[in-house]
Amino acid sequence: MDHSDDVVSEAALIAALDASGGVGFWMWDIVNDDARADPVTALLFNISPARSRAGVSLAEILRAVYHEDQAHISQVILDCVQSGGSYTAEYRVQSPEGRLRWLFTRGHFYLDEAGHPTTGRGVVVEISDSKPTRTAFATRDGRTIEDALNKTADLCLSLHNAVSEFGDPRIVALTETLLLEIGKHLADRQRSGPNPSLH
């Protein structure tokens, strides 16, 4: 069996970052612990695009988070999973070669009628070059988000969630394109300076 598709290389990641503008997205079937991501997000988390298409566990994804950031980031995300809603985070991931990259992520988790977590979706933006000094953080967002860009991101994540259940691949692809564009706007805002509403 050919395992060349399982290789995660710095060259593949750099090519994916260039092609995507440093923006990707992910989705997670919480019930089955089955996470999938586009190629740039998969490679940022040290997972080959081929393995990501097949689905991996959340634990495997979180292994790429830099050890100093891991406990806090994981706790905020897992708290958000249990109660639903959105989170915003900045943290480092470490490549197999030891290189650190900063990511900005925004995600949203959905609950069923009984209040059990079902799915999660989010946007990932590579922001290593934007600010040389920063501190990792993760924060749960309030139930009401007044900021137009964050509100748009949440609406688009919800739309992508609904469209994925609907199952039309063309419409799913359109919502993914929209997610990537919103991610670029989030990245531009992060690069121009910290968002006061996050601190």
- CATH for 114: 3.30.450
Write out the residue range of the structural domain in which residue 95 sits. 26-31+66-192
- In contact, 187 and 88? CB cutoff 8 Å: no
**Other residues' Cβ atoms within 10 Å of the Cβ of residue 183:** 25
- In contact, 30 and 119? CB cutoff 8 Å: yes
CA distance 141 to 132: 25
What is the pLDDT averaged over residues 179-193? Answer: 73
Is there a domain that residue 97 lies in? yes
Is there a domain that residue 52 lies in? no
Is there a domain that residue 42 lies in? no
What is the pLDDT averaged over residues 90-113? Answer: 90
Q: What is the model's pLDDT at position 2?
A: 40
Question: At residue 73, does pLDDT exceed 80?
Answer: yes
CA distance 23 to 176: 11
Is there a domain that residue 89 lies in? yes
CA distance 184 to 81: 25
Is there a domain that residue 197 lies in? no
CA 100 centroid distance within chain = 17
CA distance 53 to 36: 6
Read off the pLDDT band of 44 (50, 70, 90): very high
Beta strands across the sheet bearing 85-94:
34-37, 23-29, 117-126, 100-111, 85-94, 137-140
Is there a domain that residue 198 lies in? no
Read off the pLDDT band of 166 (50, 70, 90): confident
Instruction: State the pTM of this model.
Output: 0.77
What is the pLDDT averaged over residues 46-66? Answer: 91
Is there a domain that residue 18 lies in? no
Is there a domain that residue 17 lies in? no
Q: Name the domain count of the chain.
A: 1
- In contact, 65 and 93? CB cutoff 8 Å: yes
